[in-house]
Every structure is written in structure tokens, then in C-alpha cells.
Structure 1
Amino acid sequence: MDVFGYIASVFIGISLGIIGGGGSILTVPVLVYLFSIDAALATVYSLFIVGMTSLAGSVSYFKKGLINLKTALVFGIPSIAAVFLTRTYVVTAIPDEIFSLGNFIVTKNILLMLVFAVLMLFASFSMIKKCRGEDCFPSENHIVKNSAVIFQGVFVGFVTGLIGAGGGFLIIPALVNLLKLDIKKAIGTSLFIIALNSLFGFVVSLSHSEIDWIFILKILGLAIFGVFIGSRLSSKIDGKKLKPAFGWFVLVMGVYILIKEIFFQ
């Protein structure tokens, strides 16, 4: 299974490079199911892998002037605060065994994977659905925009802190729909925000996690290789066309995780 895990690591980076998100939501399932890493530890590993991969991917977008730093800070500050609170107080407060329903015992690992699966389903729907005209760019006043961006930032930070997903599938729609950023600039800005959130969450988690640095550096190297491939392909392939296809893949993965965690423990 390790071979498939290493191949999947490259595709994590390719997805991040092309559409600025999506690949990060595969990191935890890859670590848990292909490398047999404990789910709680996998969220920590994912924060590092996703953060460093996104940072590497954002470099090419920065050179092209496709990162809006002001927007990244406005979105990123509430996100980072939410990441800190989630990793410090929420994740550490979840008991190893939460409750049982007959013979089915809900552990911390199962809960994290179930939450992850549900999030994958919502993410897949946002990638698959099509929008046209005003539906893609709803008109909102300035105050509503700022409030919505802050709320979205807090929510993304919570998601990142809880399950180690970068949240690009949430960030990009917010940047495009609320702030009217060009899709290419939204992707670059998303990568930078994901990097900030994920790496901050990883640093917060270091004190209560044992890190296998050799292992995660191997995965990171493959993911960064993939993100540079994705960045090159992004100039030749329309990410809007790839997004629905990737969405269907994420949907299948989410359903698989739900079935496995509920019926095959």
C-alpha cells in the first residue's frame, strides 16, 4: 500500500497546483488508509505536508503577481486565531473513547474520520455544482462582504485545526464570490492562506505529537514535486473543467470513508 500512498502524494500536490485546493482533503485519508497512520496523528502530519506544499506552490503565483497579500491577511488573521483555539482547546479535549452504540464504539479516530468524510461530501458538491452569471458572483454590500469573509476565515481555521485540511475548496469560492478576485489570483491567494493556517497549526501541535520527520519529508517532497507539475499545468489546463471531475473523486472517497468507519470497524 505504501507505493500507492507515494503515488497519491504526488497527486495531492498536482491538485493544489492546478485548482488551489482539493488535494489537501486527500492527505489525511492517504495517511490513514494507505500508510496506516493514527487518524489524530495524521491530522498533524497533514498540517505540515499541506502547509509546506502550499507554500511551495504559492511561490510561482507570487512571482506572477497572483497573490493578494492584503486579502490573505484579512482572511488569514481570523483563520489563524481559529486554528490556534481549535488545536489548543478543541482537539486536545476530545477523549479517546467518546461513546458507544451497542457494539459500535465511537473513538476519537473514528470521529475525526467521520467528520472528515462529511466535509468531503460537502466539498465535492461545491466542486461539482455549476453556476452561471449572478449565481457565481452574488452582489453584496461592503459590510456584508467583510463580515462574511471574517466568518469564512474563522470557519476555515476551525476546519484546518480540527482535521488538518487546508480548506481551499472553502477559501476560493469566498475570494471569488465575495471579493471578486480573478480565479488565478484566488488560487494563488488561497495557497498562501492555506500555508499560513496549516503551518501555524502544525507548530501549535508539536508539543504533544511525536513526528516521524523522515516519513513526512518523503511525502512532502513528492507533494511539492506534484504542486510544481500542477502549477505548470494550470497555465495550459482550465481548472474550472478539472474541478468537477475532482469533485466526483472526492465524493466517492467521502462515501468510502463513511462506509468503512461505520460498518467495517
Structure 2
Amino acid sequence: MLIGIALGLFVGLIMGLTGAGGGILAIPALMYGMGVALTDARPIALIAVGLAAMVGSFHGLRLKLLRYRAALVLALAGGLVVPFGMALGHQLSPVVLHCLFSVVMVIVGVRMLFSGKELTLEKNNLVGIVCAIAPDSGRFIWTPKTFFVMVAIGLVAGFFTGLLGVGGGFIVVPALLAVSPLSFNSAVATSLMVVALNSLVAVGLALPNGVALTIPVELFILCTVSGLFAGRILGKCIPGQWVRYGFSALCFSNAIVMAVYF
């Protein structure tokens, strides 16, 4: 029971700091920390991450960090392909899913490690930027290119939400930082709304098959939500570079564990 509390707080903390690490870390935590099978860990992780992300997105909206129009486009596009990802995930063996998860974690870790852009609104005039934002409001300047780029990011994030049982934030945050001059905190807040909506779709599709909820698992879910608050508070004090390096190290270590012990 204490393990579930500790792991839930840890996953929520990382999610609050990065907006990208909830599902990526929740599934290994449930599997290797609490002995939950992969097939059961996926919907449980989605519930925990989805609820925490919902709370975090409201917090981001209150602070005017959330770009809700972009989040809606990302989530609507993602919701269209979540069922296809889930269908493919049911066809693959646990061994293949373990390997895929390990590969994804390595890619995410490398992407975060070398994502050295500390983007601010003042960089809105960067030459060749794909999705521009208005310097005065911080909102996206919507053009056909911006719309289709957001749809593309949403489709990829939604597919992996269904396939691996993760929220998709590990795709949304780096992608937003790569294609726009959005600040890191705004990218995190926007990602949390996308994660919440994508997770809601995936959980709704998974519920007919049943979800193995026990008291330790329920505590894990509740503590994930609580940990997110701590992560959002600490995020104001910890340099973004430290967050990226720490998260990358966690991704690499989890990938090794999953590759060795699947």
C-alpha cells in the first residue's frame, strides 16, 4: 500500500514537472513496483494520468498558460486514432509491446536530453518557425499550416495513447517545442489537456473489458493526482535543464529494466 502511495506521488511529480512523463513512467511503476500485469497496467495508468492531467490543465488555464484551442485540435485528432492504436495493441504479444515501450522510452529520453531550447515569447521572430504565436498574447496564429501540423502531432500522440496505454504527452511536449516558440510551461500545460482528453477516450474504450482496481491501485491513482500539484509548484523553482536531464535518465533506466525483465 505504501509502495502504491510513493509511486503515485512520484509519477504525479514527474508529470507535473514535464507534462510528458505520466504514462511512460506509470506503466513500469505499476508493473515492477506493484506487480500489475501489462494488460491491466495500461488502463490503470490511463485513469491515473488522465485524472492528474485534467487537474493540471485547469491549473494551466487559470495561469493563462494553456493554449486550449491547440489542445482541442490535438486531442480531437488524437481521439480519432486511439481506437486503432488499441486494436493493434490487442493484436501484439506482451513481448512485442515491452520492446516497443522500451524503444519509445529511449527515443523520448534522447529527445528530452537534446531538447536544449529554452523557448520564450521573445523568440517568436525565429526564421523558419512552423507555428508562430502572437508576442502580445502568447496564442497561436492560426494558419492552414499551423492547423495541419497540430493535426499531425495529435494523430501520432493519439495512436500511441491507444497502442501503449500512455497519455501522449511525451510526443506533444517535444513536438510543440520543436515547431513553435511556445514556452516550456505553456507546452506542458497544453500537453496536460491533450493527455486528459486522449486518456478519457482510451479509458472509455477499455472499460467494457474491465479494470482491475484494488485499494493499492486506487491509492496510486489518487496520489498521482496529488503529486502533480507538487510537480507544478516545484517546476517554478527547478531549472528546465535539470528537469530534462533527470527525466532522460529515468527514461533510459526504465527502458533497460523493461528490456531485461520482460
Structure 1 residue 144 displacement after superposition? 4.6
Alignment-mate amino acid for residue 76 of structure 1: A
8 Å CA contact 1:20–1:188 kept in 2: the answer is yes
Partner of 1:258: 259
Change (3 A) 1:210 1:130: closer
Give the alignment of 1:114-133 within 5 angstroms. Answer: 114-131=99-116
Secondary structure in 2 aligned to 1:60?
A: helix
Matched residue SS, 1:21 = coil
**Superposed CA offset, 1:159-179 (max 9, x none):** 111111122221012222324
Pairing partner for 1:140 from 127, 130, 140: 130
Alignment of 1:65-214 (within 5 A): 65-87=64-86, 89-94=87-92, 108-131=93-116, 139-140=129-130, 143-212=144-213, 214=215
**Pairwise CA distance, 1:68:** 1.1
Deviates more, 1:249-258 or 1:206-215: 206-215
Summarize the alignment of residues 238-257 of structure 1 with structure 2, pairs less than 5 Å apart.
Answer: 238-257=239-258
Contact 2:115 2:174 (C-alpha < 8 Å) held by counterparts: no
Q: Which amino acid aligns with 1:14?
A: L
Task: Tell me: CA distance 1:117–1:65, structure 2 relative to 1, closer, same or farther (3 Å).
Answer: same
SS at structure 2 position matched to 1:236: coil
- SS of aligned partner of 2:181: coil
- Render the CA deviation track for 1:202-228: whole Å, top value 9, x for unaligned: 111101124315443211111111101
Query: Which position in structure 2 is the counterpart of 1:47?
Result: 46
CA contact (8 A) 1:176 1:182 kept: yes
Between stretches 205-214 and 186-195, larger displacement belongs to 205-214
Is the Cα contact below 8 Å between 2:24 and 2:166 reproduced in 1? yes
Equivalent residue, structure 1, for 2:234:
233
**TM-score, structure 2 length as denominator?**
0.85
Give 2:31's aligned residue.
32
Whether the 8 Å contact between 2:153 and 2:175 is mirrored in structure 1 is yes
CA distance in structure 1 between the partners assigned to 2:8 and 2:118 by the alignment: 36
Q: Deviations over 1:89-123 (max 9, x none)?
A: 323334xxxxxxxxxxxxx2222221111110101
- Residues 1:77 and 1:179: Cα distance change in structure 2 (over 3 Å): farther
Percent identity among equivalent residues?
A: 25
TM-score (norm 1): 0.84
SS across alignment from 1:58 = helix
CA spacing shift, 1:59–1:257, aligned 2, 3 Å: same
Shift of 1:9: 1.6
Question: CA contact under 8 A between 1:149 and 1:178: conserved in structure 2?
Answer: no
Given that 1:20 and 1:168 are in contact with CA atoms closer than 8 Å, whether structure 2 keeps it comes out as yes
| Structure 2 Cα separation of the partners of residues 169 and 93 of structure 1 | 24
Work out whether residues 145 and 179 of structure 1, in 8 Å CA contact, stay in contact via their aligned partners in 2: no
CA contact (8 A) 2:89 2:97 kept: no
In the alignment, the residues of structure 2 paired with residue 248 and residue 259 of structure 1 have an alpha-carbon distance, to the nearest angstrom, of 17
1:11 alignment partner AA: F
RMSD: 2.2
How far apart are residue 133 of structure 1 and its match? 9.0
* Uncovered stretches (5+) of structure 2, i.e. residues with no partner: 132-142
**Cα deviation 1:4-29 (Å, max 9, x = unaligned):** 44312211101111121113211111
Q: What is the distance in 2 between the residues matched to 1:38 and 1:77?
A: 30
